[in-house]
């Protein structure tokens, strides 16, 4: 993380989605799991979306998850684009 400018709820949620599960030494559950990506493509999108929603709800309580959408870019390589639609909760973060 950067030295400053990364405490905003939306930046924290984005950072969570960039972490691979097992990467954080004392919190091995934090991050997206790779099992969804390594599985069959027909299930990968749903599993990845569910995992991303759990991750944000668990580790970033200042936001509400409206929707998680997954777009398959290259099916043969299991390349996916994850988009999280979040809303900052009233009274938290920058909304005061």
Which two three-digit tokens encode residue 9?
């709820």
Domain-wise residue ranges, the chain: 9-95
* Interacting residues of 22 by C-beta distance below 8 A, sequence separation 6+: 28, 31
Per-residue model confidence (pLDDT) at position 6? 65
Q: Average pLDDT, stretch 9-32?
A: 92
Q: Average pLDDT, stretch 28-56?
A: 84
Alpha carbon distance 54, 51 (integer Å): 5
| Predicted TM-score of the model (pTM) | 0.79
Whether the per-residue pLDDT at 96 is higher than 50: the answer is: no
pLDDT digits (tens, 9 = 90+) for 43-93: 778 888 999 999 999 999 999 999 998 887 776 666 778 889 999 988 755
Per-residue model confidence (pLDDT) at position 71? 82
The torsion angles phi and psi of 81, rounded to 5 degrees, stand at -110, 120
Per-residue model confidence (pLDDT) at position 46? 85
Tell me the CATH number for domain 9-95: 3.10.450.40
Helix (H/G/I), strand (E/B), else coil: 6 = coil
Helix (H/G/I), strand (E/B), else coil: 86 = strand
């Amino acid at each position: 993380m950067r030295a400053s400018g990364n405490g905003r709820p939306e930046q924290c949620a984005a950072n969570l989605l960039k972490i691979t599960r097992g990467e954080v030494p004392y919190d091995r559950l934090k991050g997206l799991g790779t099992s969804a990506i390594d599985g069959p493509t027909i299930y990968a999108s749903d599993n990845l979306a569910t995992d991303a929603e759990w991750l944000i709800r668990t580790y970033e309580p200042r936001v509400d998850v409206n929707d998680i959408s997954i777009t398959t870019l290259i099916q043969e390589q299991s390349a996916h684009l994850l988009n999280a639609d979040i809303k900052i909760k009233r009274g938290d973060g920058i909304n005061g």
